[in-house]
């Protein structure tokens, strides 16, 4: 299964915990996982947990507009994208989970 998790919540929220745990569980089931960070979710890119998920195979994207607006400078393991990029990820994914 190709799973897409979209996170618009800040990194000190229940949504952050839930999305990280669901991403881990999906990896353990050998699913392909993408995470897309937008709105206040771009602050999550500053947390180690997301970097670790990226190292374990989660594809990490973010809305460049939101990151720029919030002055967040993501590391290179996160891929700059847009709302149109998110739309394409929706096309490719079997299931979409939205956390906001």
Partner 1 sequence: MARKNVVFIIKSNPFSWKTFEALRQAVGASIEHNVSVIFIKDGVYALTDWKPELIGIEPIDKSIESLGMMGARVIAESEAVRERGIKLKDWGIEIDIMDKDHICNMTKDAEVVITW
Partner 2 sequence: MVNTVWIIKKLADFPELELIEEDDVIILIQDAVLRTPSIENWYACEEDTVARNIKIPEDRLVSYADIIDLIEKANKVVVW
29, two tokens: 């089931």
**Binding at 38: pick from a copy of itself, partner 2, partner 1, none (beta carbon under 5-8 Å per type):** partner 1
4 is an interface residue for partner 2 by CB under 8 A = no
Using an 8 Å Cβ cutoff, are 18 and 41 in contact?
no
Tracing tokens 């999906």 back to the chain, one arrives at 26
82 is an interface residue for partner 1 by CB under 8 A = yes
Using an 8 Å Cβ cutoff, are 36 and 6 in contact?
yes
Give the footprint of partner 2 on this chain (CB under 8 A): 1, 3, 14-15, 18, 21-22, 24-26, 28-29, 31, 95-99
């Amino acid at each position: 299964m190709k799973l897409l998790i979209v996170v618009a919540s800040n990194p000190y929220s229940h949504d952050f915990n839930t999305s990280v745990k669901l991403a881990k569980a999906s990896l353990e089931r050998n699913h392909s996982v993408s995470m897309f960070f937008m709105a206040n979710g771009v602050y999550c890119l500053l947390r180690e947990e997301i970097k670790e998920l990226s190292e374990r195979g989660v594809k990490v994207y973010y809305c460049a507009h939101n990151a720029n607006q919030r002055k967040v400078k993501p590391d290179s393991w996160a891929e700059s994208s847009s709302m149109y990029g998110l739309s394409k990820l929706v096309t490719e994914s079997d299931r979409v989970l939205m956390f906001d």
